Amino acid sequence: MRALAVLLLMTSPLAAADEDPTDVLIRLRNQVLAHAERVPNHTCVETVSRERFETAERTPLSCDAIVARRRQEGADSRLRLATTDRLRLDVALADDHEIYSWAGAPKFEGELDDLITDGATGTGPFAANLLSVFQERNPRFIFEGQTMADVRRVFEYSFTVSKDESHYRVKARRDWVTTGYTGTLLVDPVTAELVRLSIRTDELPPSTTLCESRSTLEFGMVRLSAYDYLLPRVTHQLFLARDGNEHANTVVFSACREYLGESTVSFGERPAAGATGAHAAAKGLELPAGLPVSVELATAVDSESAAGDRIQGRLLNDIVDPVGHSVLLHEGATLDGRLMRVEVHHLKPVEFTISLRWETIEVDGVKTPLWLAPNRRMATPEATKGMLRPRGVPITLPLAGEERYQSYSFPGSRVSLLAGFRTEWLTARPW
């Protein structure tokens, strides 16, 4: 059962005489919990712009020293921008936690780390962070008085949730760890609408490689169907790492939509036995492994693209059965795929890197899963088909989790790949 929040009132000369801080907070809580009943019926596109900064100082510091240095004037001058990238995802709420998929995917995959295996990411900016504030066991709020948010008069409340009472989790390699946290709420005292939510974790355990993380969510009302729903317009996340580096994410939500009555959300169930048509196509094409496949991009890619964006391609060669010599797939067939990484490395040498994969091919008007692995023998002009690479040719080791993607790096920070860019693959066994 959700416990009633306890408000500790502090005398403040800024508090308006006709607006009771306890009443404002109660109205906000009731509004948030009422919206929570409708959140699972909505999904939004979440675009995450990530920046990673490296410190020029190599002297090891404690977390207390790192946090104190961040407060100092000129702290940003000690950092240099190392990499930037962008992610585009679909997000929804299920059972009080957020679930994710790549944008436009037919099903939700699950937790964020099921999709994103590299770089700093944080869950909760869609709805879970706000819900947790009012669903924790006996959260305690302190009224800090009246202040201004831009040109808007707001009430400020602070709160603390101990680790023992918290459901706030941070990923530590393969495991999640629970942490306590503190935060503030800025609330419009007239409408009881939330304007801003800020959260800062306690010091995190060394297994996370972080000292702390901070999130600031800017809220607004969005009309969905017949309801106004409280949604974050933008979220800023900051991760302070134990090596002095920092990760800054900006999360923006768009294309929020309601699931209609006849709509369903698939979570990866397999089709029933005997299914035909499009459902049967979900089994995919089991082609002999190792056959060369050339696919050209039909979608332009540039530095404004994001991991998760869909791409299209065209098959450049017939795929022929090596035994029966029949044509298994015809030249010109349309493929759908997805960008898996779009990253700029800003330190010298400046490089623009994309990783991509192909997912389906259209056969007789039906999109059918297709399993392809990178043909790395053909990845560089120096490589010769059917032979080992010559000595001295650089090898780029794929990132963990990207072994099935094809990656390309180009000099410069702003690169455009036009339609017609050729990619080389081999047929593979299903995985």
Query: Domains in the chain, start-ordered, CATH in brackets?
Result: 6-258 (2.50.20), 277-427 (2.40.128)
User: Which DSSP helix (H) or strand (E) runs through 144?
Assistant: strand 140-149
Task: Of 118-127, 158-167, 207-216, 371-380, give the range with the top mean pLDDT.
Answer: 207-216
With cut-offs at 50, 70 and 90, classify the pLDDT of residue 387. very low
Pick from 389, 395, 302: nearest CA to 343: 302
Strands (DSSP E) along 279-427, which ranges?
Answer: 292-297, 310-315, 319-320, 327-329, 334-345, 351-363, 366-369, 372-374, 406-411, 422-427
Pick from 157, 127, 133: nearest CA to 145: 157
Is the pLDDT assigned to residue 418 strictly greater than 80?
yes
334 or 256, greater pLDDT? 334
With cut-offs at 50, 70 and 90, classify the pLDDT of residue 283. low
Pick from 358, 334, 331, 352: nearest CA to 425: 358
With cut-offs at 50, 70 and 90, classify the pLDDT of residue 6. very low
Q: Which of 26-40, 255-269, 331-345 has the lowest mean pLDDT?
A: 255-269
What is residue 313's three-state secondary structure?
strand
> pTM of the entire structure?
0.82
